[in-house]
Amino acid sequence: MERLIIAAVLVVVAVAVAGLLQRLRARADAPTQSRWAVPTQLDRADFDASDVPWLVAVFTSATCDSCVRAIEKATVLASPSVAVQDVPYQLRKELHTRYAVDVVPMILVAGPDGAVAASFVGVPTATDLWAAVAEARAPGASPEPDLGRPS
């Protein structure tokens, strides 16, 4: 009888250890990291200089250090054909909400119809930003035509 009780206890312990090991091996994968949603269309009437063919909209915040660098890089693109507009959260919250912009800096390059041709979340290099605007304005102008396009 004593051997039967010892055998039963060993079976229970073995089952418990097996169950624990199975749970440890079957851990769920880490949660998927979200990607920021980038608008694909802008209403050009929401922005200044809607009569200028191309718009570089830079969504920023006064509390964001990298936003200053993004604006500096975008501002040099201003020309008679390209309007550059800073869209600070503190002053234009309604546009951040309307376009569901929840990360800054976000740079959007939109054409005359408001379709977003290129976008950057974070601060791109000046070369990448310039090339993306050139490619949007004149397809084939850039040696890297996919800069600023979703992958």
Domain assignments of the chain as residue spans, ordered by start: 44-137
Averaged pLDDT, 74-80: 96
Using pLDDT thresholds of 50, 70 and 90, give the confidence band for residue 30.
Answer: low
Q: Which residues pair with 56 in a beta bridge?
A: 84, 109
Q: What is the mean pLDDT of the chain?
A: 88
DSSP collapsed to 3 states, the chain: CHHHHHHHHHHHHHHHHHHHHHHHHCCCCCCCCCCCCCCCECCHHHCCCCCCCEEEEEEECCCCHHHHHHHHHHHCCCECCEEEEEEECCCCHHHHHHCCCCCCCEEEEECCCCEEEEEEECCCCHHHHHHHHHHHHCCCCCCCCCCCCCC
Residue 59 amino acid letter: F
For 44-137, which CATH superfamily applies? Glutaredoxin (3.40.30.10)
Higher pLDDT, 142 or 85: 85
Using pLDDT thresholds of 50, 70 and 90, give the confidence band for residue 96.
Answer: very high
